[in-house]
């Protein structure tokens, strides 16, 4: 999928990067079928067996998409593994009484039978769209509060006042109550330590 990306001018992705790839079209078609199925299940009183059949159909479509598109194959496998692991988590939560499912659902070790497939689908959709956004826009700065970033990548900026960063990579910037902390992203856990030191001043 990287073949659709070209060098960009002014920090904006080239318009070719936004072009839909064959995998994009397959995933969007798959998601479209999922939305139609969801609409049918919600709008009409569908029997439980049909809901499970729909889930199986969506998973089979996912297998087909993954076999034809190497760009999503690893994410689909990860989603499928997450679905299987979720059964164990559900079994634990049901055994502790923290999670209760209706008795009418077909179960697999305390988890509804549809749950592994649902997890596989959700993880695959979000994983693929996240990967594509990263390929299109590249790593960007995540901000919470009034902040301006220019050519800042892989930064996290949290502030209650105006903060500007330019030409930096992999930083955490936290600015509250007139105090500002800047640390490398790999040392983000040290922010609390620094804030506690600042409290003494």
Domain with 50 in it: 2-137
Q: Is the dihedral of CA 89, 82, 46, 36 positive or negative?
A: positive
Whether the CB-CB separation of 14 and 7 falls below 8 Å is answered with: yes
Q: Does 96 share its domain with 155?
A: no
Whether the CB-CB separation of 175 and 143 falls below 8 Å is answered with: no
Min mean pLDDT across 52-56, 123-127, 178-182 is at: 178-182
Number of domains in the chain: 2
pLDDT tens track for 184-199: 888 877 877 777 776 6
- Assign 5 a pLDDT band (cuts: 50, 70, 90): very low
pLDDT tens track for 92-103: 888 888 888 777
- Assign 7 a pLDDT band (cuts: 50, 70, 90): very low
DSSP designation for 1? -
The answer to whether residue 143 scores a pLDDT higher than 80 is no
pLDDT at 139: 65
Q: Does 106 share its domain with 19?
A: yes
Quick check: helix, strand or coil at residue 157?
A: strand
- Assign 4 a pLDDT band (cuts: 50, 70, 90): very low
Quick check: helix, strand or coil at residue 136?
A: helix
**Which among 22, 51, 49, 16 has a CA at the least distance from the CA of 34?**
51
Q: Which residues contact residue 51 at a Cβ distance below 8 angstroms, ignoring those fewer than 6 apart?
A: 41, 114
The last residue of one of the domains, among 106, 137, 168, is: 137
Q: Does 157 share its domain with 112?
A: no
**Which among 143, 141, 180 has a CA at the least distance from the CA of 158?**
143
> Which pTM value belongs to this model?
0.65
Q: Does 31 share its domain with 119?
A: yes
């Amino acid at each position: 999928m990287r073949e659709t990306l070209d060098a960009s001018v002014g920090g904006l992705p080239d318009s070719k990067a936004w072009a839909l790839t064959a995998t994009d079209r397959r995933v969007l078609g798959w998601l479209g079928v999922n939305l139609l199925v969801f609409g049918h299940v919600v709008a009409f009183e569908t029997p439980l067996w049909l809901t499970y059949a729909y889930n199986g159909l969506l998973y089979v479509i996912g297998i087909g998409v993954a076999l034809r598109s190497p760009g999503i194959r690893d994410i689909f496998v990860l989603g499928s593994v997450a679905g299987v692991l979720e059964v164990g988590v559900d079994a634990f939560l049901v055994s502790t009484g923290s999670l209760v499912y209706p008795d009418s659902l077909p179960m697999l070790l305390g988890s509804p039978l549809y749950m592994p497939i649902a997890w596989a689908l959700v993880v695959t959709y979000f994983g693929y769209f996240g990967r594509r956004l990263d390929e299109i826009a590249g790593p960007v700065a995540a901000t919470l509060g009034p902040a301006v970033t220019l050519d800042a990548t892989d930064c996290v900026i949290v502030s209650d006042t105006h903060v500007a960063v330019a030409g930096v990579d992999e930083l955490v910037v936290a600015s509250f109550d007139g105090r500002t902390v800047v640390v490398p992203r790999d040392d983000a856990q040290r922010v609390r330590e620094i804030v506690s030191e600042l409290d003494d001043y």
